[in-house]
Amino acid sequence: MVHVTSEIGRLRRVLVHEPGVEVDRMVPPMMEELLFDDILFGERARDEHGRFRRLLQVLGIEVVEAADLLRETLAEPEAREWLWRMMLPQLPPDLRHSIPADADEMLATVVGGLLTDDEGGGIEVQDLFRLAPLPNWCFQRDPQVVLGGGVVFSAMATPARWREGLLARAIFRFHPELGSTPVIHDPMRPDPDYEQFFGYHRPRLEGGDMLVLSPEIVAIGISERSNTVAVDSLARALARLDGGPRWLEVVHLPKRRAYMHLDTVITPADRDAALAFPPVICGAGPQLAETYEVDLQGEDLTPRHSGCLLDAIRKRGLDLELIPCGGDNPVAQQREQWTDGANTLALAPGVITLYDRNVATADELSRRGWRVIAAEDVLLGREEVSLDGAGKTCLLLASNEISRARGGPHCLSHPLERDDPT
């Protein structure tokens, strides 16, 4: 079962993936395409990720490991055959008929990659790997989005991440539990009711660009990673969805690496508040992201200009106070937006997680009456936190290493079940 109608409802079950051998195998030539700023020290990244997972468990949230789901999925020969067939364009010719014999072998191959046997000393990715690893798979937000009781699949922007989308499709097609999840939209499948030739402008849609703001409102970013072709097809799919959202807010982000996804510039933190980067979300300068609204119940799905995102959703009954990442200092705002100060995973209304390196953001939350505590203090029993009426609380996560991969708590996780907002 999956159920998500907001970004802030009490979190019951969440999908994550511990950075594994795929991170240890990452080499510098991969960084640009993967949008990493450095190669990670895997042991330290795993330690920080492990503390994050343990915090969720201590607070009563069921943590689901994506690798476990994929292993259970690939236990079925039909699932292995389907995934291998979908991967054929990425496979060397001599591997195309060599389907791994069991789930463990296939999991290791499709996530960790395959090293070459060539000892010729090449340094490029193709010299080192017959099949490249998937270091970005720890960012479970991106390959799919759970909306209501169904799933929207992503169309990953770069070839280095295409396989992540296939893994999500395999899980939600063949897994013993999740295989029955209704598919709301798959942007890589042609719409039979709408003639369109993709050509060079194929659909691109990544989960970090999609925020489920309420049962009535979904926001979608047009960014470096998601494009208009995908957003148009998503709007048509949502318009056909019984009981789905009414409003689609299309946010045109400035084309800068710093704003790779919508959730890098705004994420909800409470029923009436969101962490955000002001110059893009509500500023008056040239970096303001203009928002266009689609009435999903209207006859015409043409997006209509509606100003900035906060103004657009306010008209639809969702009034969010903006909490600026970095506080009121424009230098700190820009520095901490870069280190995911606007990227929070809400565990319940008003209970959020944040990387501890975003000191100015934490200070701003404290100034506004939030209780700011180190996650380590919860793990060691020095502090207590409840997800049921805890008051405004920010839990600071160890982040010296994992933050170098350019993704915050929202990026690292994907809610499978949340309570409806009240």
pLDDT band at 256 (very low <50, low <70, confident <90, very high): confident
The answer to pTM > 0.85 is: yes
Q: Which residues contact 115 (CB under 8 A, 6 or more apart)?
A: 25, 128, 129, 130
Strand order in the sheet with 290-295: 210-212, 217-222, 247-252, 290-295, 304-305
Residue-wise pLDDT for 305-338, tens only, equals 999 999 999 999 999 999 999 999 999 999 999 9
pLDDT at 95: 80
Alpha-carbon dihedral sign for residues 368, 55, 4, 405: positive
Which residue blocks in 113-227 are alpha helix, DSSP H? 125-128, 162-174
Q: What is the rounded distance in angstroms from the CA atom of residue 342 to the CA atom of residue 265?
A: 5
Domain ranges of the chain: 11-418
Domain 11-418 has CATH 3.75.10.10: yes
Q: Are 383 and 30 in contact (CB under 8 A)?
A: no
φ and ψ at residue 210, rounded to 5 degrees: -120, 120
Kindly tell me if the per-residue pLDDT of 198 is higher than 70.
Answer: no
Which residues carry out catalysis? Answer: 411
Helix/strand/coil percent split, the chain, to 5: 35, 20, 45
DSSP state of 298: S
Amino acid at 161: R
20 DSSP assignment: -
What's the mean per-residue pLDDT of the chain?
A: 92
Report the pLDDT value the prediction gives residue 189, as an integer from 0 to 100: 80
Is residue 197's pLDDT more than 60?
no
CA atoms within 13 A on the CB side of 227: 13
CB 123 within 8 A of CB 29: yes
Three-class secondary structure of residue 131 per DSSP: strand
Neighbours of 102 (CB within 10 A): 12
The closest of 291, 269, 279 to 337, measured between CA atoms, is 279
Give the per-residue pLDDT at 384: 93
